[in-house]
A and B are shown apart, each in its own frame.
Chain A
Amino acid sequence: MIKITNLQKYYRTDEVETVALNNVSIHVKEGEFVAVMGPSGCGKSTLLNIVGLLDDLDEGSYLFNGTEVAKFKESNRSNLRKHNIGFVFQSFNLIDELTVFENVELPLVYTKVPAAERKRRVEEVLEKVQIMHRRNHFPQQLSGGQQQRVAVARAVVNNPKLILADEPTGNLDSNNGNEVMQLLTELNETGTTIVMVTHSEHDAKFADRVIRMLDGQVIMETAHV
């Protein structure tokens, strides 16, 4: 599903050029659950952003489902993103002014799904993450775990083929963290591909495969059996 070859990414200021990712090649198959690990600043979040088409790559190739997307324009990326990719963040990134229901509904609004269909799908996914009873609450009225469940619901409501999770349990206690990991695992079992950046060895164990990074390079790949 994802085939990145010889990826280079630089950050430039007036005087200095920093290499963020150096000659990175990864391959994620459809239905796989991959964890990316490494110390702060090793480039794992940058990699995730490139995979999610939120950031450009400077050199190399990126095939998404066999299509070269490295040189895609913003409108094409946006289109590809909204139909294929769901995001889960460490800090949940829910919109404070919208209710749980409206937050989850948002991706469907942008993919122009009719209102009745939207309602059905949002309710279905809220049931799935067991947060239906808080559908009319605002994010600040929920606990961290509940907020992350809403974020997961929002990520999957569009039935994306790929979910990108950036430290999904980073802001949660272990119970809530486990619940979220459980959810991701269930999603993976239904066929969704997941790429997750994490610091937690515990969370990484839920993945099929772990990619370890250091100083912008992939140093090791381990597969869990």
Chain B
Amino acid sequence: MLKNYIKFTFRTLWKNKGYAAINILGLSVGLTSFLVILLYLNYELSYDRWDPGLEKVFKVSIRDADDDISPNTQAPLAALLRDNASQIESATKISTDVTFEIPLSVEDKVISQSGAISADSLFFQVFPYKIIDGDPLTPLHKPNAMVISAAIATKLFGQENPIGKTIKVFNSFEREVTAVMEHPQGPTHLDIQMVYRSPYETDNYHWGNWSYYTYVKTKSLIRGEEVESAIDRIYYTDRLMKDKNMTYEAFRTSGSQEGLFVDAVHDIHNFPKYGNSNMANISILLVLAILLLFAGAVNFSNLSIASSLKRAKEVGVKKVLGFSQARLFWQFMGEIVIQCLIALGIAILLLHIALPYFNREFQISLRLFDAQFSWGLVTQVIACLVVVTLLSGLYPAVFLSRYNTTKVLKGDYSSGKQGATLRNGLIVIQFVVAAFFIIGIVIVDRQLNYMQQFDKGFSGEQVLRIQALMMQTREDNFEQVKNSLLSISGVQTVAKTTKVPGDQFSDTSTMNFKHNGELHRLGSVKVSKDYFETLDIKLIDGRLFTDSYNDQHTRSAIINETAAMKLGLQHAGGTYITYPDCDSIPMEVVGIVKDFNVLGLEQQIQPAVFTIGNDACMFQSGGAILVKLADGDIGKQVTAIENLWKRVEPGFGIRLSFLDENFHQLFSSHLRLQRIVAFFGFTAIAIAVIGLFALTAFLIGRRTKEISIRKILGANATDLGLLLGKDFMRLIAFAVVVAIPLGWWAADVWLQNFAYRIS
């Protein structure tokens, strides 16, 4: 019996090849986009869930009096909280740039490695990384300790036991491997390959240094609010009460938001209390993917009914032969289940083809068959299939099995206007989605054009960015390296900076500066003399740096317009700022430069203080060397630089890029969004068009008789096109009217991400 049904189903599908193909492909496309997003959502939600111990870990952030939020906290904060909060088991501060590659060497072997952080000795008491070799209890106890991942151990030491061996970091200081840790199974916001104790720990330890992330681990599972109020009170009492001159309770009731707050680590990636998260984008995509799937299923349903008009006679005959309505219903449902299964099979195939592209695009590693959450995923897919089958099949099956026997046998297949509102509504939804995407495509496109043409305030044209991997190249040997570079024909200027325009993860150091007795938090950027000339940054007032002693030793500073505004300065010269926490000698503000954009268009330009020399207060590492080239044979100049670099940093390959391209990378996430929106847009349009086709097929199927009569009475193709088209045009027009405000709203929300945007 079942075999007969299946045979009959395939025979029917084959007979209606065209309809069946459109039907199944349409549904497959909807299913594929839905499955991609489903996988992506599963992946995102698995962030920082790799150990149950993480539920007790929170990241501490600070909101200042100006309501500015900074992920960076002061160096001594972790110790303050650890010593005073009874709920806290342990706290650690880390200094991180996990995407930044640093050079590691063991004897002659040199590798450059990302995923490095420096931390205090308590890091492993807070984070439950599994130690698989070496000291599991206090791996970072020694001031020169370092813990590496199994992958790095293999890279550097092969099969040898790495414990007790030393690794040279930045070619500058040595660390001893005390333990090997296991890389966590799931994704994490801190993708760590190694943790080491910083050599500058003591020098940089003061309240004026805002360069650390602070994490706390609670003794028991408690809510974030509880942690927050406990540590906020401690922070207030220790740091703020003296100035505010009121009790903690009075301060809180005063309405000020200043103080500490926490994010549970498993919320940092998806639901952070400030900053960007992918979740909003993913949620929107999920809703749209559901709509696409829904639309695909509805089209399927409409097309099934359209093609079923041909089968009315079969129903009539079967009913005459004694088939019950229920049996017919299940027969049709069975056919639809088979089609849905075929669609799912195609969707999985498409997914298999599409996933590598998607993974590359998002720089993640989604897999369809992953031991980690495969059962969860299988359940989700089955649930999805059931819903899709019901959506696709219920209506056609009822519709078909209900055909009036005598009527259909006489050739009358029409059954009034039932369900018209529902069908029209669904078409409207499909076109709302499609129009929404079209609006999205236009807006994203315009904003990206705007961004590419935006005057960023500096010129990166023919400026090379060279990553110096050895500390000496940037510090002690810089003058020598600079002169070597300048000796190459075509090299015009050479400069260095800790904050390279366009670097996605550049130095975000901010410091307290005192001016006229008031404290201001400003960005601190270390540069060299020719920095502003190299980038063609305009001077507004005062002068640029010279070779004078004061300029070269952090006794003069140049600030940008935004900083000048924050300090209330009209002119440079004769005015001084100081580092109040660590250095009492004042710096003269000798110049004010025009604002220039280093962080992309999402953020307002930050107030910045540019100084030369890494002498005062805090040592700032990172950044790059910038080389301005003359017009002419760029290739030859680059080759000469590459050759020189082999002598400057032997053993390390040169890492260079053009600054313009570097800055352009800041747009990469938006370009990605543009491609995603375009992809979903075209999918939505395709599904909507299939939907329209389905509805047209359905209505034409039902109106064949009317169309014939009109033709006999003299209607030509245009008349008939208008007759059938005007209803759809009305629906599409309505959909566009609905979509415009929705698209407008969504575009507005998206554009809010940009400090500089189209209006």
Which residues of A come within 8 Å of B, CB atoms?
Answer: 52, 54, 75, 78-79, 81-83, 87, 93-97, 106-107, 110-111, 154
Contact = CB atoms under 8 A, between A and B. Distances in A.
Contacts of B711: 78
B708 to A, nearest CB: 8
B158 interface: no
A78 B712 CA distance: 8
Contacts of B670: none
Interface stretch (B30-38, B656-664, B713-721): B713-721
Nearest to B714: A82
Contacts of A83: 714
A95 B712 contact: no
Interface of B: 414, 705-706, 708-716, 719
Q: Which 7 A-B pairs have the closest CB atoms?
A: A82-B714, A110-B714, A107-B713, A93-B709, A95-B706, A106-B713, A110-B715
8 contacts: A52-B712, A78-B714, A78-B715, A93-B709, A93-B712, A94-B709, A110-B719, A154-B713
Nearest to A93: B709
Contacts, number: 38
B706 A87 contact: no
Contacts of B706: 95-97
A75 B714 contact: no
A154 B713 CA distance: 9
Nearest to B417: A97
B738 to A, nearest CB: 27
Contacts of A106: 710, 713
B705 A81 contact: no
Nearest to B707: A95
A79 B414 CA distance: 30
A157 B719 CA distance: 20
A78 B709 contact: no
Given A83-B714, A93-B712, A107-B713, 4 more contacts: A81-B712, A95-B706, A106-B710, A110-B710
Contacts of B709: 93-95
Contacts of B719: 110
Nearest to A92: B709
B710 A95 contact: yes
A24 B450 CA distance: 75
Contacts of A82: 713-714
A93 B705 contact: yes
Given A93-B705, A95-B706, A97-B706, A111 B712 contact: no
A93 B710 CA distance: 10
* Residue from the set B709, B715, B716 with the largest chain A CB neighbour count within 10 Å: B709
A110 B712 contact: no
A220 B713 CA distance: 32
A40 to B, nearest CB: 16
A143 B715 CA distance: 27
B129 to A, nearest CB: 72
A83 B713 CA distance: 9
B190 to A, nearest CB: 67
A214 B713 CA distance: 30
Contacts of A97: 706
Contacts of B713: 82, 87, 106-107, 110, 154
A81 B714 contact: yes
A224 to B, nearest CB: 29
A107 B715 CA distance: 8
A110 B713 CA distance: 7
A111 B705 CA distance: 21
Contacts of A93: 705, 708-709, 712
A190 B716 CA distance: 30
A83 B714 CA distance: 8
A75 B712 contact: no
B716 A78 contact: yes
Nearest to B706: A95
Contacts of B716: 75, 78, 110
A54 B716 CA distance: 13
A93 B709 CA distance: 7
A75 B708 CA distance: 15
Contacts of A154: 713
Nearest to B412: A91
Nearest to A49: B712
Nearest to B716: A78
* Residue from the set B711, B713, B719 with the largest chain A CB neighbour count within 10 Å: B713
A111 B710 contact: no
A190 to B, nearest CB: 21
A87 B710 CA distance: 11
Contacts of A81: 712, 714
Nearest to A53: B712
* Residue from the set A52, A110, A154 with the largest chain B CB neighbour count within 10 Å: A110
Contacts of A75: 716
A78 B715 CA distance: 8
Nearest to B414: A96
A86 B714 CA distance: 10
A138 to B, nearest CB: 12
A75 B716 CA distance: 7
